[in-house]
Structure 1
Amino acid sequence: MKLKTGIGILLLAGLSPGAMAQQKRPNIVYIMSDDHGYQAVSAYGYGLNHTPNIDRLAKEGALFTQATVTNSLCAPSRAVLLTGKHSFINGKVDNMARFNWDQDNFAKQLQQHGYQTALIGKIHMDGLPQGFDYSAVLIDQGEYYNPNFIINGQRQQVKGYVTDLTTDMTLDWIAKRDTSRPFCVLYHQKAPHREWLPALRHIKEYTQQTFKEPPTLFDNYAGRGTAAHTAEMNILKHMNWAGDNKIPPALMDELGIQQYLSWDKAAYNNNLGRMTPEERSTWDSVYNPIMEDFKKRYPKMTQTELMRWRYQRYMQDYLGTVAAVDDGVGRLLDFLKQNGLDENTIVIYTSDQGFYLGEHGWFDKRFMYEESLRTPLLIRYPAEIPSGRRSAALVQNLDFAPTLLDYAGIQPPQDMQGRSFRRLLNGKDTSWRDAAYYTYYEYPGIHAVKRHYGIRTDRYKLIHFYYDVNEWELYDLQKDPHELKSVYNDPAYAGTRKTMHKKLEQLRKQYGDSDQNDQRFLNQALKKKAP
């Protein structure tokens, strides 16, 4: 009897038909960085920096230009990724709320259907991760140098730079996996999260660069409501001097510079204090001259000059940390190719949300404005996704779980609220949602971004700020891409406003959100803060 070549080889190797079916299921590598704005991925065309390895995913696969999150905050975003459910359903509405690991998640589903699974890097949620055969996670936000990991429940300090270590652990786990079964690894980088400590190999290069300022660096927030005016995330006024800009506490004292946040100097001491003497010596050889120059200039600097100096310091360190993330992506892609895994492995690169890189004078995220709402999303899977594909579909992190389950041939649980965008990627379907829904709850809290919810369509955005205010904003993204002026009360947009309100109520009903949810989570937050 003559066997077809591919099947014959597998049968001769002793693999059963069931094992052969498993072999055809794709492997999954889900790469999530922390606070990586799409503006800092060169494939998006902003010219701020160069990320050649992440760009390979766009060249060889697909890039989404309007991917968004449902809640622009670290831990809630990760909960949405895992569960495929909005924050008000999965319960992780802010960074303080506990995440219930007992609820279903897509990794558990993969496990139950024969996948081996791993979570490596940052997850920023309490409790031992469920759904993973192996986990090596950072504690809370993690550290850049010589970080502590919890490896399968055991705390351990690991020597080295966190971005490289996370990559090392990921590649090591893939190399040692059971090759008879498909795998899924969540490869989660800490970088480029605050306080932005680059790898030593990048500090000299990036601290010598000058980066283009965004056109809204000196925004005065005219044309917007209370929320934009009262947020505490301005680079000049609210960024830490020591922890963020790397000005030594002793120099701050000498120059009479006061801390903005009480943990500013402590962050500097703790972060740099983790370095070995050799690491610290290399670091100081680059940063000490910068601080000596600042010491000479500071007394004569105007507020405008100081803002520009702080912006450059921010970008030098932030983009320096991105460089190591890109290095890791390159190592991963090379590893997959060298081991014959590249053709049957889905590689996704994204961030837990967007981030302000000086736009509106801000750093951080939280707002529903574009730089915070949108996130980079690039996917490579040669078996189905044509190279160079670009999509403007309004996909969200809500959709990752059902999409990955779809590729694995698994029916998503009924309570998952996202949709698989697999057919968008392979060109078999072009229909998609016409509006994305967003919520944000962490107020009162750091950065003072008010509670809000809203929807974004291809052209318009409607936002409702509530709790201690009751304000609505409407933006025409086609005419006002920087969102400088709300047209909510403009008579010319009366029809659009009515349509957007109707669509908002439809989505709130569809997803099961309501004002009662808002009050419930507010009561929970107030109860935690009570003495």
Structure 2
Amino acid sequence: MRFTFCLLMLWGTSARAAELPDTSRMNVLFINIEDCNAGVFGCYGNAICRTPNIDRFARSAVLFDSAYCQGISCNPSRSSFLTGLRPTTTNVYSNSDVMDDLLPTGTLTLPEVVKAGGFTTANVGKLFHRLEYADRPMLAFDRLEMHDKPEGWKGPGPILNFPPKRPGWEKAPADQKSPEFREWKRKHSDRYGDSGLNREEEYDYRMAATAAALLRDFAKQPAGQRFFLSVSQSKPHTPLISPKKYVDIYDPTKIPPPAAPVDSLVNFPAHSLKRARGGNPDLFRDAQPSLQQAREAIAAYYACVTFVDENVGMMLDALEETGLDRNTIVIFFGDHGFHLGDHGFWSKYSMLEATRRVPLIVRVPGAPANGQVCRQFIELVDLFPTIGELAGLAVPANLEGTSFAPLLGDANRTWKRAVFMSGGPADRGHSVRNRRYSYLEYEGNRPGAALFDLERDPWETRNLVDDPQLADVRNEMAALLKAGWRGALPPAQ
């Protein structure tokens, strides 16, 4: 069936937060990083990992402490927040699903809507999971840096030129189900520690330097011409490697053991327990690590995060040096989370808290809630309508997210009562989380369910789904999951 989209101008609606300044002429800097556990930043409470630049940024912005993604890996999550639709509508559940072939006909993406709104558009690095999944949306960018070009794109060449990459890193085979791809992934994912490169040779540094150069170029634009700049950082995605200067910061012997060890799990879903006792998708693929290896991997992950922090600092410095910080909305977030050995899990691909919770920090110049922590539930599917409202864009009327612009004016107002997520091929099903409980239902050849009391068991180690004393809770959570996201919307205010 062909979808017909009605467009709704959100600017000036009753949902608009009256406390916010006029954002209708502001730029947007959209910084997305890959595979980031929300708890690794100092501003999120980590006392070991060093993230001074992001922590400084958080003090000038709204830090969302309860932000959640809708998909368990890059492709389903990105397909969701870049369309404003949930996986149950995009039909994208895994990294191998071709987004363009699965979206409802007529679906518009965030870049297309932003471009239609009159922005100069630029993208640096990864945005959609793969170019061939999103050829048409990528044509919406006036500049494409450090990214393959879709057929028919006629933008300018790179703003910066870098020396050639060192040999030894071949591109991934296109067929993700092939033996060649599995071998490539084994060689390139299951690594941690020193990358053997200096900072300036790293791809993430080059993306950040390119973004900083674009910002300086945008500062020369005629008054009133807005820009939308999307910038990626590939870290801390596997392989967990970074320049030695960052690796040397962290002593693995001072890293605490992973939380939620396998022997603490009670009534854990059988298919998840198999992963907990065996290999993982991206890291420690063949078997569980020793305690020393686990500590080394976490230290390497922290090193990657500190490297990213320095790169983000370079972008933010360019924003301030040009004066663009006074008129630019900055959105910093991760596409999904990452397990650091909890439950015996490494990487993502689960519906547990470490995968579903993400970092999200938003700064709107002059917003009253800047400098505050917002503990209300936010979902990444909300990014599209939020940018639409702030920028005064005409967005599709069928979006399945909710603009959280009002929270940028009042971080404490009552908001959503639950967040939702969909699993993937190895963890097929759906989940819902409210303030006290998380509830997961599995489908296909892995039927069953899980219920965790997050107040008493924040690491989700004891599955209480069969506890007769919690039968009413299970029924309530199952009903909430069945009702879906519309049943958890903010109250009318």
TM-score, structure 2 normalization: 0.77
Q: Verify: 1:126 aligned to 2:160, yes or no.
A: no
Q: CA deviation at 1:131?
A: 2.5
The equivalent of 1:471 in structure 2 is: 448
Q: For residue 124 of structure 2, give the secondary structure of its aligned residue in structure 1.
A: strand
The equivalent of 2:255 in structure 1 is: 211
Q: For residue 294 of structure 2, give the secondary structure of its aligned residue in structure 1.
A: helix
The equivalent of 1:525 in structure 2 is: none
Q: For residue 455 of structure 1, give the secondary structure of its aligned residue in structure 2.
A: strand
Flag the structure with larger Rg.
1
Q: Verify: 1:136 aligned to 2:131, yes or no.
A: no
Residues in 2 aligned to 1:379 and 1:398: alpha-carbon distance in whole angstroms: 15
Q: Verify: 1:442 aligned to 2:408, yes or no.
A: no
Residues in 2 aligned to 1:388 and 1:185: alpha-carbon distance in whole angstroms: 23
Q: CA deviation at 1:412?
A: 2.2
Residues in 2 aligned to 1:352 and 1:486: alpha-carbon distance in whole angstroms: 27
Q: Could you say which structure has the higher helix fraction? A: 1
Q: CA deviation at 1:225?
A: 2.0
8 A Cα contact 1:352 1:375, kept in partner: yes
Residues in 1 aligned to 2:231 and 2:368: alpha-carbon distance in whole angstroms: 21
Residues in 1 aligned to 2:148 and 2:371: alpha-carbon distance in whole angstroms: 37
Residues in 2 aligned to 1:345 and 1:219: alpha-carbon distance in whole angstroms: 49
Q: How does 1:213-292 map to 2 (within 5 A)?
A: 213-231=257-275, 237-238=278-279, 260=286
Which of 96, 111, 115 aligns to 1:107? It is 111
Which of 492, 497, 521 aligns to 2:474? It is 497
Which of 323, 340, 346 aligns to 1:363? It is 346
Which of 390, 393, 396 aligns to 1:407? It is 390
8 A Cα contact 1:227 1:465, kept in partner: no
Residues in 2 aligned to 1:398 and 1:490: alpha-carbon distance in whole angstroms: 33
Query: CA distance change for structure 1 residues 463 and 419 in 2, over 3 Å: closer, same or farther?
Result: same
8 A Cα contact 2:407 2:413, kept in partner: yes
Unpaired segments of 5 or more residues in structure 1?
Answer: 1-21, 150-158, 246-258, 262-302, 444-449, 512-531
Q: CA deviation at 1:133?
A: 1.4
Q: CA deviation at 1:434?
A: 1.1
Q: CA deviation at 1:206?
A: 3.4
Q: How does 1:33-432 map to 2 (within 5 A)?
A: 33-100=33-100, 103-123=107-127, 124-127=129-132, 128=135, 129-138=138-147, 160-177=201-218, 178-180=221-223, 181-206=225-250, 210-231=254-275, 237-238=278-279, 260=286, 307-427=290-410, 430-432=413-415
Q: What code does the residue aligned with 1:126 have? A: L
Query: CA distance change for structure 1 residues 415 and 200 in 2, over 3 Å: closer, same or farther?
Result: same
Over the matched positions of the two proteins, sequence identity in percent amounts to 25
8 A Cα contact 1:400 1:418, kept in partner: yes
Residues in 1 aligned to 2:107 and 2:377: alpha-carbon distance in whole angstroms: 27
Residues in 2 aligned to 1:167 and 1:359: alpha-carbon distance in whole angstroms: 31
The equivalent of 1:507 in structure 2 is: 484
Q: For residue 84 of structure 1, give the secondary structure of its aligned residue in structure 2.
A: coil
8 A Cα contact 2:209 2:314, kept in partner: no
Q: What code does the residue aligned with 2:471 have? A: A
Query: Which runs of 4 or more aligned residues in structure 1 lie more than 6 Å from their structure 2 counterparts after TM superposition?
Result: 143-149, 508-511
Q: What code does the residue aligned with 1:36 have? A: C
User: Structure 1 stretch 195-204 or stretch 347-356: which is displaced more?
Assistant: 195-204
8 A Cα contact 2:125 2:145, kept in partner: yes
Query: CA distance change for structure 1 residues 326 and 386 in 2, over 3 Å: closer, same or farther?
Result: same
Q: CA deviation at 1:201?
A: 3.1
User: Residues 134-193 of structure 1: CA distance to partner in whole angstroms, max 9, x if unpaired?
Assistant: 2235579xx9978899xxxxxxxxx82111011011112222233431111111111011
8 A Cα contact 1:209 1:316, kept in partner: no
Query: CA distance change for structure 1 residues 474 and 172 in 2, over 3 Å: closer, same or farther?
Result: same
Q: Could you say which structure has the higher strand fraction? A: 2
The equivalent of 1:522 in structure 2 is: none
8 A Cα contact 2:83 2:108, kept in partner: yes
8 A Cα contact 2:72 2:424, kept in partner: no
8 A Cα contact 2:24 2:392, kept in partner: no
Q: What code does the residue aligned with 2:389 have? A: D
Q: What code does the residue aligned with 1:435 have? A: A
Q: CA deviation at 1:387?
A: 3.0
- How many equivalent residue pairs? 414
Q: What code does the residue aligned with 2:286 have? A: Y
Residues in 2 aligned to 1:202 and 1:456: alpha-carbon distance in whole angstroms: 35
8 A Cα contact 1:144 1:163, kept in partner: no
Q: CA deviation at 1:208?
A: 6.5
8 A Cα contact 2:441 2:447, kept in partner: yes
Residues in 2 aligned to 1:86 and 1:46: alpha-carbon distance in whole angstroms: 31
Q: CA deviation at 1:223?
A: 2.7
User: Residues 328-373 of structure 1: CA distance to partner in whole angstroms, max 9, x if unpaired?
Assistant: 1111111111111112111111111111112122211121111111
8 A Cα contact 1:487 1:493, kept in partner: yes
Query: CA distance change for structure 1 residues 510 and 339 in 2, over 3 Å: closer, same or farther?
Result: same
The equivalent of 1:485 in structure 2 is: 462
Query: CA distance change for structure 1 residues 323 and 148 in 2, over 3 Å: closer, same or farther?
Result: farther
Q: What code does the residue aligned with 2:410 have? A: G
Q: What code does the residue aligned with 1:212 have? A: P
8 A Cα contact 1:43 1:58, kept in partner: yes
Residues in 1 aligned to 2:240 and 2:130: alpha-carbon distance in whole angstroms: 21
Q: CA deviation at 1:457?
A: 0.8
Q: CA deviation at 1:442?
A: 2.2
